[in-house]
Amino acid sequence: MSQPLKIHIDGQLFDEADAKISVFDHGLLYGDGVFEGIRFYNDRVFRCDEHIDRLYDSAKAIHLEVPMSKSAMVEAMLETIRANDLHDGYIRLIVTRGVGGLGLSPYRCDKASVIVIASTIALYDPEVYEKGLKLVTCATRRPSHDTLSPAVKSLNYLSNVMAKIEALQAKADEGVMLNTAGYVAECTGDNIFVVKNGVIYTPPVHAGALNGITRKVVIELAEARGYDMIETEMSRYELYTADELFLTGTAAEVVPVRIYDERVIGSGEPGPVTRQLLADFVEITQTTGTPIYEAAVVS
């Protein structure tokens, strides 16, 4: 039987059964906070600095002061991984507004709270990476920039949850979310890439897509392979008629799509560009990153 996880809360490690927050925490009451999901592979945290920078940028955007330095946040994350003796897995960093009274005012919260969870994750079954996902279009739209910037990874993911419910009820693996103008933004938790005639396309961040860390890595890998990489607004038509279609995300990694809105994508199997980028992604995750244990060596 596996040992209970150790969870970091505000500078202390607790057994998961004892890891609790107040019912008056504004993260619970109002979704008032930010988070990051981070992967670690082979005793290395992948793209650690980029994730930490984005966490602090999200916090600044919502006027939330993180009560520790970036270096202290990294150490808390590494300490939590070590306490659980993990070597490959997933980290969830959460910063809530903290404990306050009932009522929306954030100024009633004296201090933000930091939670670090380190565990394992498998978003999709292994066979999905060989066969591909089934996608459907969701009626729930991606919130527009004038409500909340998609660059902010806030604790309020209700629109994404509602879209995910739609996808699951339609017997699909994932759902495509459009923006208010009807263009493709992203999936409920992943970025989208289209391959057509050897060129790779992806929606720009101004279309409502999160500027994902894995998204940026895949763009770097594609450009290193010599592919033309274009960020452009796309309708569902461009997805329907794609030669290849794949998603990227920290939890999902790089995952192919075989069916979208009952249209078979390309040959119905993962295409050569998707397979190449997936192989390149696996290679870089296994050989680079911030060391977790003293014996870890970064290539």
Using one digit for the tens of pLDDT, what is the confidence trace for 26-73?
Answer: 999 999 999 999 999 999 999 999 999 999 999 999 999 999 999 999
- Output the pTM of the full model: 0.94
Final residue of a domain: which of 71, 101, 119? 119
Query: What is the reported pLDDT for 147?
Result: 82
Do 73 and 141 reside in the same domain of the chain? no
**Residue 252 and residue 108 share a domain:** no
* Given the residues 134, 153, 171, 216, the one annotated as active site: 153
pLDDT in tens, the chain (299 residues): 468 999 999 999 999 999 999 999 999 999 999 999 999 999 999 999 999 999 999 999 999 999 999 999 999 999 999 999 999 999 999 999 999 999 999 999 999 999 999 999 888 888 999 999 999 999 999 988 788 888 999 999 999 999 999 999 999 999 999 999 999 999 999 999 999 999 999 999 999 988 999 999 999 999 999 999 999 999 999 999 999 999 999 999 999 999 999 999 999 999 999 999 999 999 999 999 999 997 544 43
Please check whether residue 193 is in contact with residue 217, taking contact to mean a CB–CB distance below 8 angstroms: no
144 and 250 together in one domain: yes
Is 47 domain-assigned?
yes
Active site residue 153: yes
Q: Which of 119, 138, 170 is the last residue of a domain?
A: 119
* Tally of domains in the chain: 2
Verify that 223 and 96 share a domain, yes or no.
no
Domain termination site, one of 119, 145, 168: 119
Rounded CA gap, 200 and 79, in Å? 39
